C-alpha cells in the first residue's frame, strides 16, 4: 500500500491520531479541528473561512463538534470538509466530558442558609397581615372606650 500523508473520509484505513496530538495543532499557521471523531487540517482554509479564522482557532485543541453544529453549517460546508480531512481520533485518548456538579460541601454551606431565610420571609408574610388586623382591632376597641 502506498504511503500517503492525506486521507479522505472514504478511506478504509484512516490515520489515527491521539487527542494530545490534535491539541498541539492549535495555531493560526497549524490548525487542526476535531469534529465528529474526524480530524481536519484547516490551516490552508483559515483565510477563506466565511466565519473567519478566529472562530476556527478557538475551536482547535478541543472537540469542536458542538461549535460546528451550533453554527448550522450548510450541506456545501459539510462537503467542503472532505478536502481538509486528515484522519480519525483515537477515542481512548479523549478525556471524558465533565459535567458540572455542585460540590456537596457548597450545597450545604451556601444553599441551606438561603432555605432558612426563605422560611423566615414566608412566616413574616403570613404574620404581618394578622398583626395589622390585630392592631386595627385594638385601636378600635381603645377609641370606643
Q: Position of cell 404581618?
A: 128
> What's the min distance (Å) between Cβ of 15 and ligand HEM?
17
| Binding of ligand HEM by 34 (CB under 6 A) | no
Cα angle 34, 38, 43 (rounded to 5 degrees) comes to 55
State which residue has the least CB distance to ligand HEM: 51
**Contact residue for ligand HEM among 6, 9, 74, 112 (CB under 6 A):** 74
Bridge-based pairing of strands 30-35 and 38-41 is: antiparallel
Burial bucket for residue 19 (CB in 10 Å: 0-12, 13-18, 19+): middle
State in angstroms the smallest separation of the CB of 49 from ligand HEM: 6
- Selected from 59, 61, 86, 87, the binder of ligand HEM by CB under 6 A is 59
Q: How far is the CB of 28 from ligand HEM (least distance, A)?
A: 14
Q: Are strands 85-89 and 16-17 parallel, antiparallel or unpaired?
A: parallel
Mask 89-108, x = binds ligand HEM (CB under 6 A)? --------------------
Q: Quick one: which of 22, 39, 68, 88 contacts ligand HEM (CB under 6 A)?
A: 68
Distance CA 24, CA 16 (A): 15
Q: Quote the CA–CA distance of 145 and 130 in Å, as a whole number.
A: 23
Residues in contact with ligand HEM by CB under 6 A are 33, 40, 42, 49-51, 55-56, 59, 64, 67-68, 71, 73-74, 76-77, 80-81, 84
Amino acid at each position: 500500500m502506498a504511503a500517503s500523508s492525506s486521507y479522505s473520509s472514504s478511506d478504509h484505513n484512516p490515520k489515527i491520531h491521539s487527542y494530545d496530538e490534535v491539541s498541539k495543532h492549535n495555531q493560526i499557521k497549524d490548525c487542526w479541528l476535531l469534529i465528529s471523531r474526524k480530524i481536519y487540517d484547516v490551516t490552508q482554509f483559515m483565510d477563506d473561512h466565511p466565519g473567519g479564522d478566529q472562530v476556527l482557532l478557538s475551536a482547535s485543541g478541543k472537540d469542536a463538534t458542538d461549535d460546528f453544529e451550533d453554527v448550522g453549517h450548510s450541506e456545501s460546508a459539510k462537503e467542503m470538509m472532505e478536502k481538509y480531512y486528515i484522519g480519525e481520533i483515537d477515542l481512548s485518548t479523549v478525556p471524558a466530558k465533565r459535567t458540572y456538579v455542585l460540590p456537596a460541601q457548597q450545597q450545604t454551606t451556601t444553599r441551606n442558609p438561603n432555605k432558612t431565610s426563605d422560611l423566615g420571609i414566608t412566616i413574616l408574610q403570613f404574620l404581618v397581615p394578622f398583626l395589622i388586623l390585630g392592631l386595627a382591632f385594638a385601636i378600635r376597641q381603645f377609641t370606643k372606650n
